[in-house]
Amino acid sequence: MSMNEIDAQVLDTIDRWVEKEVKPIAKKFDQADEYPHELVEQMKELGLFGATIHPDYGGLGLSASTYSKVVARIARAWMAPVGIFNSHLIMAACVQRSGTEEQKRRFLPRFASGELRGGLALTEPNAGTDLQGIRTVARRDGADYLINGTKTWITNGVYGTHFAVLTKTDPEAQPRHKGMTMFIAEKGEGFRVGRKLKKLGYRSIDSAELVFDNHRIGVDRLVGGVEGHGFHHAVAGLELGRINVAARGLGLAQAALEDALRYAQERQTFGKPIAQHQAIQLKLADMATRVEASRLLIEQAARKYDSGERCDLEAGMAKLFASESAVSNSLEAMRVFGGYSYSVEFDVERYYRDSPLMCIGEGTNEMQRIIIAKQLIARNPA
């Protein structure tokens, strides 16, 4: 079976699962802010926790192109499940890309099966975009390290067990990034959940505060086995992460378009469907154009990523445009639905609440513009 046939089979399986299992429960779980335990078990069986992990370690080994399509298809129905396996896969990618061979054999097969699940613990109360400003410290204590600090807005924080935790092993290092180190930490003594965080959107995901209080961790959990490379481990996954966020934005933008298009043909004013009014047609045309442009930008970035080329420019463009498209399309869908858009009976209010997160996550869109501009200048010297 060719890779194209395998990819088509994967996407067909995802489509059927989304229709049967995801769509019917999205509204209920979102409104209750309830974690979808049963859906997570299904995601294990589908192999989603190993989607981008190499087959040598039990994963599906999907290309960035196929993975982005999987993400967009699920986000089109409900964005929350995507976050459960994406943050987990960024942690897995850190081990796969930078871990020792012993760490790969130890963790990746169990990450791929979903037996061990978790995510990435970077953000702190005082440090988000400026990762070098973190204050969580790991100090050597004999053969181990003691970690102290607090992480916040950590996806999978409540139900996850393992996290790639960014720390400072040398707080005085200059430049600051040279004193940063990544560990794979497991919940236990000295490592607990501070609290679950309530959110405007992106509900049903256990975003949490994680507290480290003299958490003892062995040197065998230090990613790559060498101090001082944590910052590079953290940022190395941003290109794929931004493609993922762009794919989520595409899914939301497309869902908003489809709902608006359907409603505009059902709802009548002044004796005809509102889809026949020019004011509505202009909205639908812009929404559809944003969807297709987002799709093409994501595919361009994914192709470059899969070919091994640097793609921070392309991934930044895709993330910027697709996330802003999600926000614009969700707002336009609200306007198409009129007063009904404020009813929880319709999904458009959820798109409206979920979409702004895509403009913040994986680097704010303001930061994306700076990255894009710097890359344009670097690639086109005068």
Confidence of residue 358 (pLDDT cuts 50, 70, 90): very high
pLDDT-derived band at 2, boundaries 50, 70, 90: low
β partners of residue 218: 144
> Residue 277 — φ and ψ, nearest 5°?
-90, 135
Please provide the average confidence, as pLDDT, over all residues in the chain.
96
Q: What is the pLDDT of residues 18-52, one digit of tens each?
A: 999 999 999 999 999 999 999 999 999 999 999 99
Q: What is the pLDDT of residues 174-221, one digit of tens each?
A: 999 899 999 999 999 999 999 999 999 999 999 999 999 999 999 999
> What was the pLDDT predicted at 128?
84
CA torsion through residues 50, 54, 55, 58, sign:
negative
User: pLDDT: is 321 or 238 the higher one?
Assistant: 321
The catalytic residues are 362
| Residue ranges of E strands in the chain | 118-121, 137-141, 144-154, 162-168, 180-186, 191-196, 208-218, 268-269, 272-273
Quick one: pLDDT band at residue 1, thresholds 50, 70, 90? Answer: low
Percent of the chain with pLDDT over 90: 93
pLDDT of residue 129: 82
Two tokens at 200?
Answer: 């405007």
What pairs with residue 120 in β-bridges? 164
Percent of the chain with pLDDT over 70: 99
Q: What is the pLDDT of residue 20?
A: 98
Residues 264-303: b if buried by 16+ CB within 10 A, e if exposed: beeeeeeeeebbeeeebeebbeebbebbebbbebbbebbe
pLDDT at 4: 76
- How far from the centroid of its chain's Cα atoms is residue 345's Cα? 27
pLDDT of 279 reads: 97
For strands 144-154 and 162-168, give the pairing: unpaired
Mean pLDDT of 321-327: 98
CA 33 from centre of chain:
18
What value does the mean pLDDT take over residues 361-370?
A: 93
Model confidence pLDDT, tens digit, residues 239-298: 889 999 999 999 999 999 999 999 999 999 999 999 999 999 999 999 999 999 999 999
Other CB atoms within a 10 A radius of the CB of residue 198 amount to 8
Question: Measuring CA to CA, how many Å separate 4 from each of 8, 11, 65, 66, 86?
Answer: 6, 11, 11, 9, 23
CA neighbor of 209 nearest in space, from 139, 136, 304: 136
Amino acid 235: pLDDT: 87
Query: For 333-342, what is the mean pLDDT?
Result: 97
End-to-end CA distance of the chain: 48
For residue 237, the model assigns a pLDDT of: 83
Q: Among 75, 84, 213, which residue's Cα sits nearest to residue 154?
A: 84
Tell me the sheet residues that pair with 127: 124
In whole angstroms, give the CA distance from residue 320 to residue 378: 19
